Amino acid sequence: MRLVILGAGHVAASVARILAATGGYGEMVIADLDLEKATEVAEEVGATAAQFDADDTPSIAAVITGADVVFNAVGPFYRFGLPIVRTAVECRVDYVDVCDEFDTAAALIRDTDLDAAARAAGISVVFGMGYAPGITSLIAAWAVETLDTAHSVDVAMAVPYTLKMGATINEHMLHSMSGHVAQFLDGEIVDVPAWGDPRPFAFSAPFDTTVDMGYMGHPEGITIGTYLPGVRNATVRFAWFEPEANELWQRYEKLGLTSARADRRLPVPPRRYLAHFMDTPEGQRALAVESAGMPGTAMQIVAHGELDGEPARVTFETQVVYTGRGGQDPTPHAAAAAVRAMLEGTITRTGVMSPDACIDPEPFVRSVLGPLGVRLTRQVAITSSLE
């Protein structure tokens, strides 16, 4: 079988290394605009290198035609995600990506013609298969399955403040945390202000802290309500552990620095300039805040519904600790596991969908997080009447 990996950055290269260690394919191709970078990764994993331009549809088609599975890690996905998915469907190639853009996810869900074309071609398009979204989406499905019925799911992500994410991720975060973002409320996709409706989430040891978290633009806020039966409300919330950092990021929008618009007087959009400035030593000095000393990233996925006829809440918490065991990024491992499942033919549903629509959640989540030492806990709380 022929596997094409689009991109040669951190996630793409990590997925290539993971899959190269286990096999399951006949040929692997690493494709990137930077042929030298693609060649470096390809030589490391025993693959073939190719050059392609994500801004050029014929170039995309040329590199993926004839493949059995394509994995796409080229971001930001709000720029490149849709054209690559559409080309994969036209070329009749099974597809997996790590799309983390809410507007791209919404566009994919609303494009019923694209879904119909994928089903007619007999192919599976699985978008958003990383740690968040991806593992978070599957944990939401697991939480919903724990209940008899579920009506709402909240995904909450707390992260230590950092500017050392690279310009692409900086731009993604500025896009996700400014303007209006999509959530699933009262049974439909609606736009709400980023950072809005903050609510407290209490994280367990070693974090031992409560964080106020507002709306974030992320796919789970759309996909959970779309693909999990009975769910009427699904939100994604985010905060840096450092309150000063949250205030700083909200100030960027008030100053117009998160705008994506450019014109002849301002050839570089403010958001793109800020994303690149953050990636410089000068920017990291100017925009630094005092660390809260948190040991890593913590997430909660909380489902509300009924169990045995009583109101109930299921809370999953994941913790990725940056030092010692548990410090590995789960994203490439989750993506590689989904690509492997695609190669093995265990993803059988066709069409365009997120992972919670086509992957059995509990065994998949356990198989990815367990070997990485990611702490995963579940609490089930039932409210019973004593009358």
Report the candidate in 333, 380, 351 with the shortest Cα–Cα distance to residue 135. 333
| DSSP designation for 101 | -
Over residues 347-385, the pLDDT tens digits come to 999 999 999 999 999 999 999 999 999 999 999 999 887
> Could you tell me which residues are beta bridge partners of residue 157?
238, 299
The residue type of 78 is Y
Exposed / middle / buried, residue 215 (Cβ in 10 Å: 0-12, 13-18, 19+): buried
User: What average pLDDT does the structure give for the chain?
Assistant: 95
Q: For residue 32, which phi and psi values (nearest 5 degrees)? A: -155, 160
Q: What pLDDT sits at residue 31? A: 98
What lies within 8 Å, CB to CB, of 162 at 6+ separation is none
Calpha distance 165→153 (Å, rounded): 28
User: DSSP string of 113-163?
Assistant: HHHHHHHHHT-EEE---BTTTBHHHHHHHHHHHHSSEEEEEEEEEEE---S
Better pLDDT: 163 or 137:
137
N-terminal to C-terminal alpha carbon distance within the chain: 63
The pLDDT of residue 56 is above 90: yes
Mean per-residue pLDDT, 4-33 = 96
CA gap 242, 251 in Å, rounded: 15
Please state whether beta strands 296-307 and 233-240 pair in parallel, antiparallel, or not at all (unpaired): unpaired
pLDDT of the residue at 328: 76
Q: Band of the pLDDT at 324, cuts 50, 70, 90?
A: low
pLDDT for residue 41 is more than 80:
yes
At 83, which helix (H) or strand (E)?
helix 77-90
Burial zone of 157 (CB within 10 Å; 0-12 exposed, 13-18 middle, 19+ buried) = buried
* DSSP secondary structure letters along 172-194: HHHHHTSSEEEEEETTEEEEEET
Domains and CATH numbers, the chain: 2-130+329-369 (3.40.50.720), 135-327+373-379 (3.30.360.10)
Structure tokens given for 52: 């392609």
pTM above 0.85, yes or no: yes
From CA 166, how far away is CA 278, in angstroms rounded?
Answer: 8
Instruction: Quote the pLDDT of residue 323.
Output: 67
Structure tokens at 181: 């973002």
Q: How far apart are CA 66 and CA 46, in angstroms?
A: 19
DSSP, collapsed to helix, strand or coil, labels residue 58 as helix
Q: What is the mean pLDDT of residues 216-241?
A: 97
Specify the range with the lowest mean pLDDT, choosing from 69-73, 76-80, 311-315: 76-80
**Which band of pLDDT confidence, cut at 50, 70 and 90, is reported for residue 7?**
very high
Q: Could you read off the pLDDT of 80-115 as tens digits, one per residue?
A: 999 999 999 999 999 999 999 999 999 999 999 999
User: What pLDDT was estimated at residue 266?
Assistant: 84
Give residue 220's pLDDT: 97
Residue 157 confidence (pLDDT): 98
What average pLDDT does the segment 238-245 reach?
A: 98
pLDDT score recorded for residue 271: 95
Task: Report pLDDT for 325.
Answer: 46
Per DSSP, what are the bridge partners of residue 97?
A: 72
The pLDDT value given to residue 250: 98
pLDDT at position 326 over 60: no
Amino acid (one-letter) located at 235: T
Does residue 182 carry a pLDDT above 50?
Answer: yes
Q: What are phi and psi of 18, to 5 degrees?
A: -65, -45
Using the predicted structure, report yes or no on whether residue 225 has a pLDDT greater than 90: yes
**Both tokens of residue 235?**
């939100």
